[in-house]
Amino acid sequence: METDKMKRTWEKDILLGTAVGDALGFPVQFLDRATVQKEPVTGMHPWHSVWSDDTSLSLCLADSLCGGYDLQDIGNKFVDWLYEGLWTPKGEAFDIGITTDRAISRLANGYPPREAGMDRERDNGNGSLMRISPLVPAIRGFGREEQERRIAEVSSLTHRHPRSVLACIFLCGFELACMEGQALPEAFARMQRRVAELLETERFREEAPHFERLLHLDYASFKALPEQDVRSGGYVMETLEASLWCIFNHDNYRDSVLHAVNLGHDADTTGAVTGAVAGMLYGYASIPQEWVDALARKEDIIALADKLDAVLEK
């Protein structure tokens, strides 16, 4: 498995996977599940192939990582996205979450990047989880503590609450385990054990109730959850759980992502996170070509992915 994975370009898998999932879900964003499933998404809308902030901020992160790991530079790219339209599909930022907006405003006003993110209980939307996956290939060669430190820092640029940070650690750690060749059940179990350890530390101890279902159901039981028990709003834990559930219940990119966006509510972000994981698992070649061809700025996304892949191979 590892040999086959190494032949692929991880960033192309993740960035195209994210952008396609985002674009598929964006036209039905905020519609409730019953409404979406009356006329479910079956493919890319020919008139609506733009992606939202999920992809834009993922691209900003990838762009910054081309120059190495520099938290201030990542923050600067986020500022340029919000105020200058960097890595937007049509030259202007839109669909901006409240927590992300406030944090980037603080970055623009000179807050240190490690202190800019919002850290209140109410600041646990999915705004850092949606953009964290491009970091994963860049931290593969580090030890676990350094990996988790960088994940926490990149999340904390906008979402500094321990719950959001720990959700990002779970997702990225799961992706890293899959990249190393672990099957889905083993990767899931590995992160259950690691997050359980982190919940014993002072920083994360109070978050245990919010991770209870994710940590106490084994792979088969989590996969078997009925759809009505899987929520898909903008709360970080809902997005993490819904994305993993869609991945576990399908064995290909297309079906994983379509199921994700057809859960409704925050459909673009559930689609983006599911798309990042499914792209990583199955490769960008598994994404229906007509969906990729329809993407706004497709060639720019591919060029950025190739650039970062070349940097990370050195």
Q: Which residues are annotated as a binding site?
A: 52-54, 266, 268-269
Contact 60/81 with Cβ under 8 angstroms?
Answer: yes
Residue 14 one-letter amino acid: I
Contact 141/10 with Cβ under 8 angstroms?
Answer: no
Distance CA 62, CA 74 (A): 9
Q: What is the CA radius of gyration of the chain?
A: 18
Q: Which residues are annotated as a binding site for Mg(2+)?
A: 52-54, 266, 268-269
Distance CA 81, CA 53 (A): 9
Closest CA relative to residue 140, chosen from 28, 3, 10: 10
